[in-house]
DNA sequence: GGTAGGATGGGCT
DNA sequence: GCCCATCCTACCC
């Protein structure tokens, strides 16, 4: 797939909800591997007790309060790592959990990294799966994603797709806040709740 | 097709 | 000591 420019820092220096929604259809790139973002969740400051930043700055959450356009990668359930992209101006917490990709490049390497994946849709349809497939680890925590080998880029030939909104997956607090954004009908999203119209025909992200 | 339960370790009270 | 922004397997329709 041909790629457009890397998203600039100004893209991330906005309200977290807008950044989450606008990341859909963009391309996450790490070395030879790339995937279209089809699912993302916003984690806010303020009253959002589901966010890791809700209890203030700690060694782990420091990066969430730092400058936008950096990666926040955390370790969960003793086995998995999850990728977030930091939003909001520096000093204000806010980040976007990348939850699913439609793989578009480097699929052979992704299959090597996830040998149990039987179909393309099993490679990156969840936050832990996509870090495995893309080779993203805690070593990437704090990395600037506006330059270097881990970036997010515009696709050339942006496609038409509808955005659906649902509650976030796997959290206890604020469980009904509509902060999960998905490409409506995409078969590459995680097994979380679907949009009401998700039974409809798949709208390709790439038109 | 579906779901229940286990793996596994860091973060924080 | 408890919680956790998950995934996979076994097992059951």
Measured CA to CA, the distance from residue A104 to residue A125 in angstroms comes to: 13
3-state secondary structure at position A23: helix
- Do residues A27 and A6 lie in contact, with contact meaning Cβ atoms separated by under 8 Å? no
Q: What is the pLDDT of residue A195?
A: 64
- Do residues A5 and A147 lie in contact, with contact meaning Cβ atoms separated by under 8 Å? no
3-state secondary structure at position A155: strand
**Distance between the alpha carbon (CA) of A17 and the C1' atom of B2, Å:** 34
Q: Is A130 left (phi over 0), alpha (psi -120 to 50) or beta?
A: alpha
Look over chain A and give the mean of its residue pLDDT values, rounded to a whole number: 94
Q: What is the pLDDT of residue A194?
A: 79
Which of the nucleotides lies closest to A51 (Cα–C1')? C5
Q: C-alpha distances in angstroms, A177 versus A61, A86, A111, A115?
A: 22, 20, 34, 35
Which residue's CA is nearest to the C1' of nucleotide B11? A60
- For chain A, the domains span 3-183
Which nucleotides of chain B does any protein CB come within 7 A of? 7-13
pLDDT for A201 beyond 70? no
Q: What is the pLDDT of residue A159?
A: 83
Q: What is the pLDDT of residue A204?
A: 56
A193: CB within 7 A of chain C nucleic strand: no
Q: What is the pLDDT of residue A176?
A: 94
- Looking at residue A199, the DSSP 8-state letter turns out to be T
Segment A11-18 mean pLDDT: 98
Beta-sheet strands, E only, within chain A: 3-6, 27-30, 33-43, 71-76, 80-86, 95-105, 150-155, 163-166, 180-183
Segment A160-170 mean pLDDT: 96
**Distance between the alpha carbon (CA) of A149 and the C1' atom of B1, Å:** 41
Which of the nucleotides lies closest to A75 (Cα–C1')? B10
Single out the residue of A162, A166, A146 nearest to residue A202, CA to CA. Answer: A162
pLDDT of A115-159, one tens digit each? Answer: 999 999 999 999 999 999 999 999 999 999 999 999 999 999 888
The CATH code belonging to domain A3-183 is 3.10.300.10
More confident residue, A201 or A111: A111
- Do residues A157 and A4 lie in contact, with contact meaning Cβ atoms separated by under 8 Å? no
Which nucleotides of chain C does any protein CB come within 7 A of? 3-9
pLDDT-based confidence at residue A198 (cuts at 50, 70, 90): very low
Q: In chain A, pLDDT over 70 holds for what percent of residues?
A: 94
pLDDT of A53-62, one tens digit each? Answer: 999 999 999 9
**Distance between the alpha carbon (CA) of A192 and the C1' atom of B2, Å:** 15
**Distance between the alpha carbon (CA) of A112 and the C1' atom of B10, Å:** 27
- Looking at residue A201, the DSSP 8-state letter turns out to be P
**Distance between the alpha carbon (CA) of A28 and the C1' atom of B5, Å:** 34
pLDDT-based confidence at residue A205 (cuts at 50, 70, 90): low
Measured CA to CA, the distance from residue A91 to residue A103 in angstroms comes to: 33
pLDDT for A200 beyond 70? no
A82: CB within 7 A of chain C nucleic strand: yes
Which of the nucleotides lies closest to A60 (Cα–C1')? B11
């Amino acid at each position: 797939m041909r790629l457009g420019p890397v998203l600039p820092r100004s893209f991330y220096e906005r309200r977290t909800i807008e950044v989450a929604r606008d990341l859909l259809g963009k391309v996450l790139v790490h070395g030879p591997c790339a995937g279209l973002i089809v699912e993302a969740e916003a984690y806010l400051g303020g009253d959002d007790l589901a966010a890791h930043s809700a209890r203030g700055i700690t060694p782990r959450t420091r990066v969430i309060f730092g400058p936008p356009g950096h990666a926040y990668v955390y370790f969960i359930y003793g086995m998995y790592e999850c990728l977030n992209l930091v939003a909001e101006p520096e000093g204000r917490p806010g980040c976007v959990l990348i939850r699913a990709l439609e793989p578009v490049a480097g699929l052979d390497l992704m299959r090597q990294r996830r040998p149990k994946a039987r179909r393309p849709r099993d490679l990156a349809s969840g936050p832990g799966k996509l870090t495995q497939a893309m080779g993203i680890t805690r070593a990437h925590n704090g990395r600037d994603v506006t330059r270097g080998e881990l970036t997010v880029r515009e696709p050339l030939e942006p496609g038409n797709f509808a955005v659906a909104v649902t509650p976030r997956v796997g959290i206890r607090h604020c469980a009904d806040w509509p902060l999960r954004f998905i490409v409506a009908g995409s078969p590459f999203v995680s097994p979380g709740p679907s949009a009401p119209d998700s039974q409809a025909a798949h709208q390709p992200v790439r038109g």
